[in-house]
Structure 1
Amino acid sequence: MSLLDLSWRNLKRSFRLYAIYFISMLIGVIIHFTFSALMFNADILAAIEQKRNYQLGLSITSVVIFLFIIFFILYANSFFMKQRKKEFGMYLLYGMSERQITSMVFLETCFLSVISVVSGIVIGGLLSKFFGMLLMNLMQYDDVISFSFPIEAVGSTILLFVILIGIISAQSYLSVRRVQLVELFHAVAKRDKPLTFSMWLALLAILLLGVAYFLISQKGDSVFWSDYLLASMIAVTVGIIGGTYLFFRQFLGWVLEKISRRKTYMEGNKVLWISALRFSIRGNTLNLTFISLFSTIVIFLVGFVSINYTVQIFSAGKEFPNHIAFASQDPNTQKQIEQLIEEDHHITGHERIEGLSVKPVTDSRSANGDNFQENYLLFSASHYNNVVRMRSDKEQVNVQNQEAIALIQGARPLLFTANNQPKLTVNLKGETTFHLIEKKDYALLSKATNANGDVGLKPSVVIISDQAFERLKQGNALASFDIYQIEDAKHSIALSHKVHDIVSRTPGTYYAAFIDLYSIDVETSSLLLFSAAFLAAIAVFAMGSIIYFKQLREATEEQRHYAILRKLGVDDHELKWVIRKQLLFVFLPPLLLGILHSWFITYYPTLHEVRNFPQLTSIISAIFILYVVIYFLFYVSSTSVYYKIVSQKNAMS
């Protein structure tokens, strides 16, 4: 019989074992091709504005996905090889060489790779349409995405698996070569000895986690972060990592040890699953620590980019409330611009506001702060209120005499008392002093924009009373601005470019449009969210598979012990409960600790600072719930397969 015939017979004979390995490879192909197809999809590239940034972002993400897939499939192959040690031992006993066994594994890998690549590309092509539509929906575009099998994506997927076949063959050869023949016949791992647990180390785990949580919950301007930044960061890192490790190494073991000393320990099936857990803590500590910390990173990553996406979508309208705004043009140009707007979008509001450009005598930062233009633009309360009503906002003001309000968009608002009103002195053919009664987080005029986003500094806008404005404008030149609100402003990119081309004929002329920033923000934040969610899905799948493979291996090793339990009179129903409780220890503690870590890290540094968006709490809660559901499905699947494996051997006994 040739090696080719033997390889094919192995595939048919051990279908269940090969199926697990094949599914791992198939999912790897689907993930890689789906993402690669999105990178080169012509419909998506035609729809988005930032094509270069889009492909760069996906290229970086694809490298991470590439590394994930290699790691995941190599881990699956490692599990696959360990499950076949006795089979390889028989081949060696019958006279086959290590090279022949490696060649046989190589042929099997080629069979599985060809099938998985062809199937994965077909499925990935179908899924790429769905994910492309999802990405367009996140970017709030209405473009239709067609089925696509880009040649670049096909080529990169085939190249990935050519590389993987070479790495897998090398891994398989080394795995066979370094194990002795006697060990191949005794491939079952030795049972770990129970650890000695210390109450003090168990309490140290809780203390380290408590210190880390306490520091994370402190505000950024607290003494811990303002004066001892490096020390606090080190303390949090040590607390989270060290506390998590000791939690699984000592605390849980100490709790199990205490339970084992109770009088009720011998009741029911406690002795069966608790004793098994105490023996397995040594071998599971690193895995449980890794899973917990990895869960923290995954949940935080998805939570952070979800917060970023939501904030960017809503803050663009707040920072750039004017759909189109520009310095007033001559009548002919103004008419041309209005015709352009009316051709593409219906005008829902139009206001012309006039202001005075003045030099401050007092420090300009006293009114607006940093990142604002040095000269002030003074507008009357009436012009300001007209624009506010046009936008259907509720930000009207009432300013009398020498009172003034500074618009400090993006900063913390302040309301001054009558006895504590800063003086604001400006020079306009003589000095004039105003009393600042409020700093208001509102934008009358935003930063100037162009096709690449916002440019320059924020205008320093101050609102004064109508009486003061009428008095000051006598004999002084006015700065005039036209503000337009239009229907469907989120789809006005082409219109904005046309109007900007007309306005920018005069260098330095002010122009700003909501869509210029919104299109960039929404594309960037959508790409981040999509990539993070994609990576998180891969990471969760890889992590769940690692747990899954480990339980399969442990189930195979525990077959003899469960056979003994069955001979002692333990029925199937009780065996299932023992397995469920035993695996619950592997799944539940790292899940709960990972959620707790990620909640502190997500809420205090990030979510706590954006309290103006109450919907964010619901988004983060939904992420937690989804993660728990996925984890639960892995748990149910693992318990089912674990029971089938231990029962299979028992049935043969």
Structure 2
Amino acid sequence: MYRKIIKRSLSNMRDSYLIYILACSFAIGVFGILLSMGDNPSVHYALRWWNSLIFDVAIIMSSIFGFCAFVYMAYVGGFFVKQQRNEFLTFEKLGMQRWTIIMISFLQTTIVQAVAWIIGLTFMVIFQKFMGMLLVYLMQMHFDFVMHIGMNNIQLLIATFVWTTLTLSIINAIKTYRILKKKERRTIVKTRWWLRVPAGLFGVVLLITAEIATFYLFKNMRTISYSSKPLTEIVYILGSDIFGTYLVYFGFLPTILNIMEKIHSVSYSGINIFSFKYMKERLFQNISILWFVTELSALALALLTFCYFGYQAVHQNYNSAYPFELAANKDTVNVIRHELKKNDAKIRGSYKTDVKINLVSYYNKSSESYIRQPMTFMSYSDYKSLPKRMRKNNSKINAHQFLKIDYSSSIMYRNKSDEHNIEVKGAPMIQTAKQGNSFPYGSSMHFGPMMIVPNSYYQKMPSEVKDTFYGWDFKKGDRLKRSQLQKLDSYRDAYYMRVKFRSSLADSSIEVMKKEPNKYETAIYTQSGFLRQGSIKKHFKQGGGFYLFIVALFSVALLVALGSVLTLRILLRDDYQSSQLRTLQKIGVEESEIKGIIRRENTLTFLIPIVFALVQSFAAIAMFDFGRHISKNIILIYGGYIVLYGLFGIISFKVSWRCVKQKFKL
């Protein structure tokens, strides 16, 4: 008898259970793949340079992913228990013992979880090779990815299956017990408009203050290492966004729907008043779900935005540090050219620029102190003759303006404020200089800031030291061997400068030393002899590829979770809502009209959260320094997310309409 009851319950909700099982199976498969990456011998060998870093990250990410998947299973699994509420109460009225009903709920959950795990582990075995090849492609590596699942991982997966299935079954059994104990449906208290509207207005105030706090957060982010203010702002922003969004839904959505119901041109057109009432009540009941999905959608978009800007910032920082594949100065250029000839390196482009080193003094706003130091000077014409990638992220200047290039205190924060009153030894004071962070020939080639000056200023300015920088781009790398690099390592530092500061800048001077000083002082600066991308470029691409792999997995999984939650809420109508659709059918509503009801309900359920999430995300981007103009890449990322999200909406409508037709035999 129990087997027949469970079979009938699973059959009646087969479409809903199928969506839930597929979503759970996807999560289980991804969890297993992340685990297997951690001890895969082929990955271990190919990424031996990273030691255990990537594998530790894989274990941490799999743990976080597994926890989130468990929360999803527990939350969504409760939908099915609520759906069977009347069924369980009927069983009790017919004389079935309470523990028997609880056991039926327990066994149903166990069966569903077992099926999900079987499909998920099958997915893991089948797609492990594909995911491994995707990781290899993103990391731009060349090695044979071998399918491997270690015994430790197998034991961990079995233990996870047993404990999660047992825990979820107990949770649903407890929910069933509470239903049988209370019996009566909880009375829904309708909140009056005079309470909803102020609550909604307060929610708007919270959201506005959250955006203002976001603006200050981006300004204060560079102080996060020594100040608690950014963390306080982050906590406030999260709390205001979460509670503000809920209050807006709670306050304004019911009020707007009630107003629309009063407008006959909107809610009343022949028999449509019944369909509008049905749709309104469904949205009322799903306010919490809409809020939950809105916050998860905003989280997904924020994750994608942060990952994009973070990757972009790291990429810009890397390009600023290594703009050429190989760079040198006049002391090392002959040695490097000789080594390149030995390898017959294919040079794609070569550059040469004369520079001057002079002493400067100015007040720095960031450190709030006066600074005296040597600075490298380059003429405007030489600066413009370099490849565009050298100046892409710097402020634009003309032939009569100055540009100060300095190290950024943060890869995410770029200081664009102008510098003023920079005193230069033996030359006119620089009244105003724009700011930049992208160094020609690479930041590591420079011992300090750099100044781009007009040609006439450069020619008339005296210098303490003169130097020449060289840069090369190659086809398929510089081909330098390990023995050659060991030889070049002795030329890593070209020379040293000891600055003798006096009371005035005019009396100060620079002493050039070829030998490394026995004792370093604050007034000693080192000029690099050469700079090479080499293996750093390969490791950078590997790290970036792994980063994109993890972000892509989490984004797709989050999208699947959001789509399945909304779809299941639409499919799992209770008996009262189903009777409303039957009533519409009995009073003569045509099939096309009922289909329109389902379509509008589905559209609003999917549309409201994504619109609200997009508004929040775009408002946050507008506050971001990088995002004052929305870049094409962000539009493409958000557009792709909306398209995939919309596909879930279309699938949800098709499945929902199919269920209605089968249930009412339309």
Q: TM-score range by the shorter chain?
A: 0.7 to 0.9
**Residues 548 and 461 of structure 1, relative CA distance in 2, 3 Å threshold:** same
Q: Is the 8 A contact 1:202 1:254 kept in 2?
A: no
**Residues 209 and 133 of structure 1, relative CA distance in 2, 3 Å threshold:** farther
Partner of 1:632: 646
Q: Is 2:585 the counterpart of 1:569?
A: no
Distance 2:248 2:482 in 1: 58
Q: Is the 8 A contact 1:406 1:436 kept in 2?
A: no
Aligned-pair identity in percent equals 17
- Written as runs of structure 1 = structure 2, the 5 A alignment for 1:332-411 is 334=336, 337-339=339-341, 342=343, 345-350=345-350, 360=359, 362-363=361-362, 374-377=373-376, 384=382, 388=386, 407-408=405-406
Please tell me the residue identity of whatever aligns with 1:72: Y
Shift of 1:62: 1.7
Partner of 2:572: 553
Task: Output the aligned Cα RMSD.
Answer: 5.0
Shift of 1:590: 1.8
Please tell me the residue identity of whatever aligns with 1:316: Y
Partner of 1:433: 427
Distance 1:260 1:6 in 2: 42
Shift of 1:565: 2.0
Distance 1:11 1:200 in 2: 42
Please tell me the residue identity of whatever aligns with 1:124: M
- SS at structure 1 position matched to 2:52: helix
- SS at structure 2 position matched to 1:362: strand
| CA offsets 1:305-334 (integer angstroms, 9 cap, x no match) | 123324443553344212122456679954
Mark the runs of 5 or more structure 1 residues left unpaired by the alignment: 426-431, 450-455
Match of 1:208 among 185, 205, 209: 205
TM-score by length of 1: 0.75
**Residues 75 and 390 of structure 1, relative CA distance in 2, 3 Å threshold:** closer
Distance 2:658 2:10 in 1: 21
Partner of 1:72: 72
Partner of 2:623: 604
Match of 1:486 among 470, 474, 487: 474
Q: Is 2:63 the counterpart of 1:63?
A: yes
Please tell me the residue identity of whatever aligns with 1:444: P
**Residues 348 and 254 of structure 1, relative CA distance in 2, 3 Å threshold:** same
Please tell me the residue identity of whatever aligns with 2:427: T
Q: Is 2:531 the counterpart of 1:512?
A: yes
Q: Is the 8 A contact 2:375 2:451 kept in 1?
A: yes
Q: Is the 8 A contact 1:378 1:462 kept in 2?
A: yes
- SS at structure 2 position matched to 1:148: coil
Shift of 1:599: 0.9
Deviates more, 1:101-110 or 1:566-575: 101-110
Partner of 1:250: 251
**Residues 201 and 269 of structure 1, relative CA distance in 2, 3 Å threshold:** farther
Q: Is the 8 A contact 2:199 2:247 kept in 1?
A: yes
Please tell me the residue identity of whatever aligns with 1:621: I
Distance 1:463 1:328 in 2: 22
Distance 2:631 2:379 in 1: 39
Q: Is the 8 A contact 1:32 1:62 kept in 2?
A: yes
Shift of 1:257: 1.8
**Residues 42 and 618 of structure 1, relative CA distance in 2, 3 Å threshold:** farther
**Residues 193 and 572 of structure 1, relative CA distance in 2, 3 Å threshold:** farther
**Residues 239 and 98 of structure 1, relative CA distance in 2, 3 Å threshold:** closer
Partner of 2:192: 196
Partner of 1:259: 260
Please tell me the residue identity of whatever aligns with 1:533: A
Q: Is the 8 A contact 2:353 2:469 kept in 1?
A: yes
**Residues 393 and 255 of structure 1, relative CA distance in 2, 3 Å threshold:** closer
Shift of 1:594: 1.0
Deviates more, 1:496-505 or 1:87-96: 87-96
Deviates more, 1:320-329 or 1:159-168: 320-329
Shift of 1:601: 0.9
**Residues 499 and 424 of structure 1, relative CA distance in 2, 3 Å threshold:** farther
Shift of 1:487: 2.1
Shift of 1:299: 0.7
Distance 1:545 1:595 in 2: 20
| CA offsets 1:627-650 (integer angstroms, 9 cap, x no match) | 333333333333344444445444
Partner of 2:322: 320
Partner of 1:27: 26
Distance 2:12 2:234 in 1: 55
Q: Is the 8 A contact 1:496 1:516 kept in 2?
A: no
Distance 1:266 1:356 in 2: 80
Shift of 1:568: 1.4
| CA offsets 1:375-433 (integer angstroms, 9 cap, x no match) | 33456889x56982799989999999xx99754476768999xxx974301xxxxxx33
Distance 2:100 2:574 in 1: 30
- SS at structure 2 position matched to 1:376: strand
Partner of 2:439: 443
Distance 2:370 2:131 in 1: 39
| CA offsets 1:319-377 (integer angstroms, 9 cap, x no match) | 4212122456679954663257x36x52334556676665x263496999999994334
Distance 1:472 1:368 in 2: 28
**Residues 584 and 629 of structure 1, relative CA distance in 2, 3 Å threshold:** same
Distance 1:313 1:328 in 2: 29
Deviates more, 1:147-156 or 1:10-19: 10-19
Shift of 1:134: 3.8
Match of 2:602 among 573, 583, 593: 583
> How many residue pairs are counted as aligned between the two chains?
613
Shift of 1:73: 1.6
Deviates more, 1:15-24 or 1:463-472: 463-472
Distance 2:104 2:646 in 1: 38
Mark the runs of 5 or more structure 2 residues left unpaired by the alignment: 224-228, 409-413, 495-527
TM-score by length of 2: 0.74
- SS at structure 2 position matched to 1:443: coil
Q: Is the 8 A contact 2:361 2:422 kept in 1?
A: no
Distance 1:247 1:133 in 2: 45
Distance 1:257 1:566 in 2: 25
Distance 1:39 1:617 in 2: 36
Please tell me the residue identity of whatever aligns with 1:630: L
Distance 1:110 1:75 in 2: 16
**Residues 507 and 235 of structure 1, relative CA distance in 2, 3 Å threshold:** closer
**Residues 374 and 51 of structure 1, relative CA distance in 2, 3 Å threshold:** farther
Shift of 1:595: 0.9
